Structure 1
């Protein structure tokens, strides 16, 4: 675990702290012809080698640097202005996967052992369930109600903001349940109520208030139940 933490720190330093915006712009314009791309790759390799500080890790540091450069080149050549966000997320996920693979190789651990970990699959299923599947379930349940002010307020809100807020709040509640911080759930619910109070007050629509309240309670309920079920299944699998 400490090896992965060190490599993650090297990645954060190389990709965010010690990579100026001018380097990013130059890479996007010149792509493989940019000097800063190769300097960026070199920094990642050096950081990994220095933070781990073991002679036998040097080939793995080179592997990290090379794969980092390949991933960055793929992103630079295929991303468009409209797809920058998607490519950024994909790029970061790919880098993390490479780091995990290097740790498994260096510590001579088989990916099969990780793949057969029951706790991992239970946790992954729980996390996945409280995201988009839960959003669809909640939307289906409350679709029988349609507040009069819903369309009026839609124009003033960000696209899909409500959906993302719901997913984030369920993930927070899910984590709070698994870590035993039940008081944080009350804080989150209170915080959301405060932010929502202004909108509901301006709306002066009882239907909208009830609609929001039902959706919130169902969302929190699903997250709490999911967290408790996952917690019970993990304890049972130990």
Structure 2
């Protein structure tokens, strides 16, 4: 596993620390003709050799570096058809990680993958997945009758409320799992402080009640999920 961690560290340093913004811009503009594309590839090769501290691993470093070059090049040209940079970014990173994983465990890839899946905490994964989008959809249905009566006269980020709810439920679930129930109170207080100015400016009783119901429902779902998780793990 430490071998995989070193390869991952080399990737993180090469992609996020030793790649200035002007290199990224130059690559986007010049693509295969960009000299920084090749500098970037070389840096990854040298980082792998350095962190593994083994010149005998040059073949592995070469394979990963060349694959990195190919993936980055495909991403640069794919930007013509895929306008969302976030999609390109996460797809690019996922492909890099897959290559690193395969190279790290190429000797026993099937066995290592099987062991990894066997040790996954499926109860935890189910709880985490539930408090994200499934819980958001459930809350939307439960609050549907109230949301139709709310008039919001100020601009807001698209789906901001949904993502705020997802993040806060993940935090609540985490605090319950690690046994820090008191932090949930601080989280509710922090959210109330941030919401105070909006409610004060709008002076809208219906909006205040809607936000209060939504907040309590969101926290309630997360707390119930955390309680069920602990119960299933035999912690209660």
TM-score with structure 1 setting the length = 0.86
Tell me how far 1:98 sits from its aligned partner: 2.9
Tell me how far 1:97 sits from its aligned partner: 3.0
Cα deviations by residue, 1:112-168 (Å, 9 ceiling, x for unpaired): 22223351x333222221111111011111111137543323xx1111111111111
In structure 1, the partner of 2:186 is 187
The separation in 1 between residues aligned to 2:141 and 2:99, in whole angstroms, is 39
Tell me how far 1:67 sits from its aligned partner: 2.1
Contact preservation (8 Å) 1:149, 1:205? no
In structure 2, the partner of 1:78 is 78
Matches within 5 A, 1:89-238: 89-105=90-106, 109-119=111-121, 121-146=122-147, 148-153=149-154, 156-234=155-233
Cα deviations by residue, 1:176-227 (Å, 9 ceiling, x for unpaired): 2223332332222111110001111222222211111111111112222223
Tell me how far 1:235 sits from its aligned partner: 5.5
Q: Which moves more between the two structures, 72-81 or 100-109?
A: 100-109
Q: Secondary structure at the match of 2:19?
A: coil
The separation in 2 between residues aligned to 1:90 and 1:68, in whole angstroms, is 13
Cα separation, partners in 2 of 1:110 and 1:2, compared to 1, 3 Å: closer
Q: Any unmatched runs of 5+ in structure 1?
A: none
The separation in 2 between residues aligned to 1:204 and 1:184, in whole angstroms, is 29
Instruction: Choose between structure 1 and 2: higher helix proportion.
Output: 1
The separation in 2 between residues aligned to 1:71 and 1:230, in whole angstroms, is 39
Cα separation, partners in 2 of 1:118 and 1:7, compared to 1, 3 Å: closer
Tell me how far 1:42 sits from its aligned partner: 1.6
Contact preservation (8 Å) 1:176, 1:185? yes
Structure 1 runs (4+) deviating above 4 angstroms are: 106-109
Q: Secondary structure at the match of 2:157?
A: coil
Equivalent pairs, count: 233
The separation in 2 between residues aligned to 1:165 and 1:134, in whole angstroms, is 12
Q: Secondary structure at the match of 1:215?
A: helix
The separation in 2 between residues aligned to 1:180 and 1:76, in whole angstroms, is 46
Q: Any unmatched runs of 5+ in structure 2?
A: none
Q: Secondary structure at the match of 2:158?
A: coil
The separation in 1 between residues aligned to 2:191 and 2:11, in whole angstroms, is 34
Contact preservation (8 Å) 1:138, 1:219? yes
The separation in 1 between residues aligned to 2:210 and 2:21, in whole angstroms, is 44
Cα separation, partners in 2 of 1:84 and 1:62, compared to 1, 3 Å: same
In structure 2, the partner of 1:33 is 33
Cα separation, partners in 2 of 1:204 and 1:148, compared to 1, 3 Å: farther
